Amino acid sequence: MGMPVRIDEELYAQAKSEAVAEHRTIAGQIEFWAKVGRTALDNPDLPVSFIAESLISMAEPRDSATPFVPRSRRA
């Protein structure tokens, strides 16, 4: 069960806008930002965009993933 948390109104408005664009709830958007931030702090050498894209990819259902097919080696 979630716990109510007070946040800055401007941050709430930004989360609301991003949530609509990313098809998330406002709470889901704030949770996503928290995961990205936490992962970025734990991995300071990784670009934030790489972290965000990796978390999005990991959340996708495996049955809808495109299988990796390596290119054949050229002679």
* Residue 25: inside a domain: yes
Is the model more confident about 35 or about 73?
35
Q: What is the pLDDT of residue 23?
A: 92
Range of the domain at 40: 9-59
* Residue 70: inside a domain: no
* Residue 38: inside a domain: yes
Q: How many domains does the chain have?
A: 1
Residue with tokens 């709470």: 27
- 7-54 tens-digit pLDDT: 999 999 999 999 999 999 999 999 999 999 999 999 999 999 999 999
Residues 6+ apart with CB under 8 A from 41: none
* Residue 47: inside a domain: yes
Which has the closest alpha carbon to 16: 33, 2, 4? 33
* Residue 46: inside a domain: yes
71 pLDDT band, cuts 50/70/90, is confident
73 pLDDT band, cuts 50/70/90, is low
Beta carbons of 15 and 30 less than 8 angstroms apart = yes
Q: What is the pLDDT of residue 26?
A: 95
Beta carbons of 61 and 52 less than 8 angstroms apart = no
